[in-house]
Structure 1
């Protein structure tokens, strides 16, 4: 089990990034959450098997078709045992 905290910048709000992220994580069996941030970035946490988490992190570097990702900062964190995947309110 691994956990990655990702902050994605560029044109990533208003392009269905959060909903597509939620569906992508679910397809790969990854738990966590995603939310827009007031500064225009998108923040997400992914937890699950290493290979599955890395696939979702790789997806976040591109995002959905309408997004233009400029940067994705990825930080390793200790897993918390999250279950399910949530779209959170803007933080």
Structure 2
């Protein structure tokens, strides 16, 4: 879902092949995302790491309102050691 919010607000792939459970997860995420979408779209990402590195962190936050998101990409499984 982080790639959706950082990559143009789109969902792609085999959407017709999703299970009801998967659709519910995506629906829940989109409902939450709508609360911060304006801040995410209007603010340039502050990032740690680089594309393809083992830890990439993207912050798209409107610090005036406190709305936004932090997206984390990693190849580690389990808790992220930050």
The answer to whether the superposition gives a TM-score over 0.5 is no
More strand by share: 1
Report the structure, 1 or 2, having the larger helix content: 2
TM-score (ref. length: structure 2): 0.29
Q: Which entry has the higher C-alpha Rg, 1 or 2?
A: 2
